[in-house]
Structure 1
Amino acid sequence: MYYKSFLIVFFTPLLITLYINWASAEEIYTVRDIPVEAFADNPSAAKAKAIANGRHIAFERMINRLVPLNSAKALEEQSDQTLDNLIIGFEVANENSTSMRYIANISFTFDPVLLRNFLVHNNLSFAETSSAPVLIIPVLDNDNGPVLWEESNVFRKAWAKALLDVGLVPIIIPRSSISDINDLSTDDAMGGNLEALTNFARTYGARDTIIVVAKPSNNSIDLFIRRIGLFGSSNTMKKNILVDDSEYNYDALVQYAIGMIQESWKSENLIQGKLESQITAIVPIDSMRHWVAIRKVLDNIIVLLKYDVVQLSKKNALINLRIRGTVKQLGIALEQKNLRIISVDDKYIIVQTYL
């Protein structure tokens, strides 16, 4: 373990625009609205069977949410008793039963501590930091050139009707309204115009955009994915997908792109086993309102195991932070709350960034 001090500095203290509630720990560890159906000799037995089936589906979705898919596939199926221990509660909706049949939609909430321990015990690296919401910009680059808002963009239409499961990267799809057409051009999207894209994302309550380009050819589709935002742009991910008889399934392509986006985020935020870090931070403040806002952010940093206030004055707070993972991972988590860590003279400074 090593300790390092750094300063937390906020520009324009009266304007406190800190993201707090993108995704709470409970939401990340909850799998919602699983449709279940089961038959048995009586209603109680059918319900019990449906709930047991739902637990297994919820567990699979939860593991796929947190663990890289290559690792998740290697995990063996777990017993009903194991899953019952990992789940702390469930909610039932749209319930209906007959003498032999039970149907419902069930949401399951997992115990974060027990599930983390389960993953560590099984030597599985996992991510649990949720990204700030991102706005998808779907472009179809065909023989006539790239199109975004045109009716011929069947890729955009596939995104508009896509089922978006909850993941660590919340995804927003633009409505393709007249204002959208006026606010963002195809050239700005393809050229990665940061100002135009940031302003467009702001209209949807997002900070970053993800440009997703589908480029079909004779027997394949090239998929290009790039995240662009205030904290910089990612490298472009590229994937060539073979198709049969030049029949392009854009609905399946959308789900493939979503998988790439989620997997990329997980790989950047993986927690390795029981790795922990500790740092000491000085937090400059100018009012109790300011300090309360900072504490609300810290309370919602999921990789922050604990923080203790060592000293509090009118001008600053001295706090010790215990991190699950590395300081870099804490920095990524803070960025999602509109904060950023920079290094100056061997000290860390966290500054606020505005939408």
Structure 2
Amino acid sequence: MLLTIRRIARDHAMVAVVSLLACLAAGDALARDIFSVEGIAVDRSAASAAEARVQALRDGQREALGLLLRRLTLKADHGRLPSLSDTDLTTVVKSIGIDNEKTSPTRYLASLSVSFKPNEIRSLLRNAGIPFSETLSKPMLVLPVYRTAGGPVLWDSGSEWFNAWAAIERPDSVIPVILPLGDIDDIATISADAALAGNQEAIDRMVARYNVAELLVAEAAIVDTTVDGNGTVNGGQLALALYRYGAGGPQSRVENFALSGTTAEILAQGARLSVESLEDAWKADNLLRFGEEGVLSALVPLTDLSGWLTVRDRLERAAAVRRIDLAALTVTDAQVVLHYLGSPEQLAVALAQLDLSLAEEGGYWTLRVASSTR
């Protein structure tokens, strides 16, 4: 299941969830299917329940297709995404799951999960001339730091910036985001000041605790506010800074937005814009480059032959890998030739999301199973 924003309850009894999620991390990261869309709520009325059901299933599949196409493509291309007739729509759907089905004589309600045929979706986008990415990012831990007149705030239970992130629901996201527990261990591990200063020791401890590959410090402040006669903020400038910490080293992005609404509304818009910015940057870096193909040979160290099966299965899940040729296989290693799209650096990023490490060692490529993170 593709889970986008998760905020684990701030309850000391929930601390055990951290270790449980760490154990399940690898399975969660590898189990997600980018061509499946879940949680499509349908509610249709018609002359009969049977007719309402037909309409609901058709409309639900169309909504799911729209979500999928937006998930795969850049925001700049969303205005020119292809639309399909009812007949053509059925040709790209692989399967439909139905939950919580309810009916009355004239009404039909349900929650749908729709899986699409990968090759048909690829052809649809390529024929429309729209670039796309199929690489799902591993989940990212977010620390929302809000600058107030009294100083930066991270763990305040009433933080509107923290709550804005917790309220985000984006089932089409390619970057699942989780929020920390905010329990006594988190508070003791990292403060707002330490997060803004990029205290690497504290950041590393948070990354290890939540078993994630990346951590994002999202800093927000509202400046130049406009206030109505009742003293209520109804607009202002949102100063937003995003600091990412991961395998590629620290990265930062600073943006300013003129937004309208109350403080809570401005921060809600800011959280949504932050996620959209992260998603678009991720997809831009991982677009499938069909005109740029490469071949590389890599050594795969093994402890047993089942290890090769694990590596092969994960390689087959990487969209950038077009063909896998096994050149040699022994009980201690395998030699594999990969035909792929894009650059070696892009390939390495895509494989890292599947817990495979591709690195150049002594002038030769080595591919190995990496330590599992969420």
Normalization by structure 1: what TM-score? 0.86
Residue 231 of structure 2 corresponds to which residue in structure 1? none
1:276 has 2:283 as partner: no
Gaps of 5+ in 2: 1-24, 225-235
The structure in which a higher percent of residues are helix is 2
For residues 13-46 of structure 1, the C-alpha deviation after alignment (integer angstroms, 9 at most, x for no partner) is xxxxx95651446x21111011111122222211
Residue 322 of structure 1 and its aligned partner are, at CA, apart by 2.1
Identical amino acids, percent of aligned pairs: 25
**Aligned counterpart in structure 1 of residue 182 of structure 2, from 168, 176, 179:** 176
After superposition, the Cα gap between the structure-2 partners of 1:146 and 1:19, relative to the gap in structure 1 and judged at 3 Å, is same
**Aligned counterpart in structure 2 of residue 244 of structure 1, from 248, 254, 260:** 260
Are the equivalent residues in 2 in contact too, given 1:89–1:110 (CA < 8 A)? yes
**Aligned counterpart in structure 1 of residue 119 of structure 2, from 113, 121, 145:** 113
**2:68 match: secondary structure:** helix
Are the equivalent residues in 2 in contact too, given 1:31–1:62 (CA < 8 A)? yes
Q: Which runs of 4+ in 1 moved over 6 A?
A: none
1:191-210 → structure 2 map (5 Å cutoff)? 191-210=197-216
Residue 309 of structure 1 corresponds to which residue in structure 2? 326
Residue 191 of structure 1 and its aligned partner are, at CA, apart by 1.4
Q: RMSD in angstroms over aligned alpha carbons?
A: 2.4
User: How many aligned residue pairs are there?
Assistant: 337
**Aligned counterpart in structure 1 of residue 281 of structure 2, from 252, 258, 264:** 264
Are the equivalent residues in 1 in contact too, given 2:70–2:172 (CA < 8 A)? no
**Aligned counterpart in structure 1 of residue 222 of structure 2, from 216, 227, 231:** 216
**1:123 match: secondary structure:** coil
Residue 22 of structure 1 corresponds to which residue in structure 2? 29
Residue 3 of structure 1 corresponds to which residue in structure 2? none
Q: Distance in 2 between matches of 1:84 and 1:99?
A: 26
After superposition, the Cα gap between the structure-2 partners of 1:212 and 1:118, relative to the gap in structure 1 and judged at 3 Å, is same
Q: Distance in 2 between matches of 1:284 and 1:215?
A: 49
Are the equivalent residues in 1 in contact too, given 2:77–2:130 (CA < 8 A)? yes
Normalization by structure 2: what TM-score? 0.82
After superposition, the Cα gap between the structure-2 partners of 1:353 and 1:43, relative to the gap in structure 1 and judged at 3 Å, is closer
For residues 287-312 of structure 1, the C-alpha deviation after alignment (integer angstroms, 9 at most, x for no partner) is 33543443343243332233121211
Residue 91 of structure 2 corresponds to which residue in structure 1? 85
Q: Distance in 2 between matches of 1:77 and 1:299?
A: 29
Residue 325 of structure 1 and its aligned partner are, at CA, apart by 3.3
1:147 has 2:153 as partner: yes
Residue 53 of structure 2 corresponds to which residue in structure 1? 47
1:290-309 → structure 2 map (5 Å cutoff)? 290-309=307-326
Are the equivalent residues in 2 in contact too, given 1:138–1:156 (CA < 8 A)? yes
Residue 334 of structure 1 and its aligned partner are, at CA, apart by 2.1
Greater relative contact order structure (CA < 8 Å, 6+ sep): 1
Gaps of 5+ in 1: 1-17
Are the equivalent residues in 1 in contact too, given 2:326–2:337 (CA < 8 A)? yes
Q: Distance in 2 between matches of 1:42 and 1:293?
A: 50
**2:255 match: secondary structure:** strand
Residue 13 of structure 1 corresponds to which residue in structure 2? none
Residue 271 of structure 2 corresponds to which residue in structure 1? 254
1:125 has 2:131 as partner: yes
